[in-house]
Amino acid sequence: MSLQMKINLGLLFLAIVINSCDRIRSITSKSIEKVKEVVNNESDKLVDKVIPTFDSYKSDTEHNRRRFKDFLQIELTSDVKNIYCYADEMGIDKNYQFSFNCDMSTVIRILQKHQLRLDTATSYGFSAELQKEFVWWKCNDIKKLPRYSWKGDNEYYKYFWYDQKTRKAYYLDFDL
């Protein structure tokens, strides 16, 4: 075998080894990324169970969908969109605000599930102070809507408003 042939065979072998190493590196990198993604998702779910996340500046996140199911305790149907939520759990009182678009069928399910009744009281009392203003939660606009309410034991309250024109619902869950 000539020297030139040995060099060519050596170069061919080297090219095959380098190509194989690149493919192995590529496959390994993809596998590592998939494992990182799964681990991050699972750890996020575990943390969310201990310290629930509320995304008050972005709608329809996975966290907001979970909180909707947790608090409103109804099936998340296709008519429910633009879900925003906020939590204030500091101090002795807790306050949870939700805003979303939905059809009247969902409104009825919420009213029934939470035993909410039309509240004709004109004063919002302490609840106005608990509400945090957001782009998706305009306190002055909400005040003009019919309010449904429920009062439980130990100063636990639920309020609900629905704007039929915009198909926008507002839900306030709080205790004192």
41 and 67 together in one domain: no
Half-sphere exposure of 97 (CA within 13 A, CB side): 21
8 and 41 together in one domain: yes
In tens, the pLDDT along 69-93 reads 999 999 999 999 999 999 999 888 8
Q: Which domain holds residue 105?
A: 62-175
DSSP state of 3: H
pLDDT of 162 reads 98
160 and 74 together in one domain: yes
In tens, the pLDDT along 100-109 reads 999 999 999 9
Instruction: Give the whole-angstrom CA distance, residue 167 versus residue 169.
Output: 7
pLDDT of 13 reads 76
| 48 against 82, higher pLDDT | 82
88 and 146 together in one domain: yes
**Arithmetic mean of pLDDT, 127-133:** 83
118 and 161 together in one domain: yes
DSSP state of 137: B
25 and 106 together in one domain: no
22 and 103 together in one domain: no
Q: Is residue 93 part of a domain?
A: yes
**Reduced to 3 DSSP states, what percent helix, strand and coil does the chain have, rounded to the nearest 5?**
45, 25, 30
- Please give the tally of structural domains in the chain: 2
Instruction: Give the whole-angstrom CA distance, residue 9 versus residue 30.
Output: 32
Residue 50, pLDDT > 70, answer yes
Q: Is residue 56 part of a domain?
A: no
* Strand partners of residue 168: 101, 163
94 and 165 together in one domain: yes
Q: Is residue 109 part of a domain?
A: yes
**Percent share of the chain, pLDDT over 90:** 61
